[in-house]
Amino acid sequence: MAARASAVVTVAVELDVTALADHAVAAARAAAGEAPLPPAQHVIHVRAALEHLLADARAQTPSLVERTRAALPDGVELELLEQTHRGPVATSTARFKLVDVVLLPQLALASSAGEDVVARPLESFKVTRTPDAITVVGELPVTPAPQQANARTVLTLESGVAVKKHNAPNVDGNRLTWETTAGSGPVMVQVTLQRR
């Protein structure tokens, strides 16, 4: 039987949702055939739309947890799925426990876009085994909102086995972290783990 390399993987996406709220207000007024609001009133409506968007995201979290768990393969456990915000910046964080890093490409996240929509943000990752190592190579997904200058995606892999080599810019023991921001271009993830 092949030696396993357990891991804990965290994927976090952070973005300022002000632009979404602004667009929602403008689109609702246009759909109703109403003229744009004066700037002071527009700001008030955008703040209200922002609170609605954030409250809606929080309300959907239990359903997202349930649907994400149902979409995961055997050997992967969802440890955390949360939606938080600080002001207009929303952060969606998912943490998975994998019995074997080979399952990394199969990580799944339910989407708020629909009941049957499941994203596999790391499905392009390739995991290969040699007699003495396990290698993971993949491109960190681009932040889904390229128009957001401060949007970012963070991937953290905490290995249960020794790390032989990697290209992670942030390291804390066996905890490796990569990050991409809107407009920064692709970020390659490369890590080689010692097989037990």
Least confident window among 19-23, 81-85, 185-189: 19-23
What is the strand order of the sheet 152-159 is part of? 76-86, 89-98, 7-16, 152-159, 175-181, 170-172
The listed range with the strongest mean pLDDT (29-33, 95-99, 108-112, 144-148) is 95-99
pTM of the model: 0.84
Q: How far is it, in rounded angstroms, from Cα 121 to Cα 65?
A: 16
pLDDT band at 55 (very low <50, low <70, confident <90, very high): confident
The DSSP H or E segment spanning 88 is: none
pLDDT at position 145: 53
pLDDT > 90 fraction of the chain, expressed in percent and rounded: 45
Q: How far is it, in rounded angstroms, from Cα 151 to Cα 91?
A: 10
What is the per-residue pLDDT across 56-98, written as a single tens digit (0 to 9) for each? 877 778 888 898 999 999 999 999 999 888 888 888 899 999 9
Furthest-apart CA pair in the chain: how many Å? 68
The listed range with the strongest mean pLDDT (38-42, 131-135, 143-147, 188-192) is 188-192
Q: What token pair was written down for 139? A: 């491109």
| Residue 7 amino acid letter | A
Domain range summary for the chain, segments of one domain joined by +: 7-194
Average pLDDT for residues 129-141, to the nearest whole number?
92
Q: What's the mean per-residue pLDDT of the chain?
A: 87
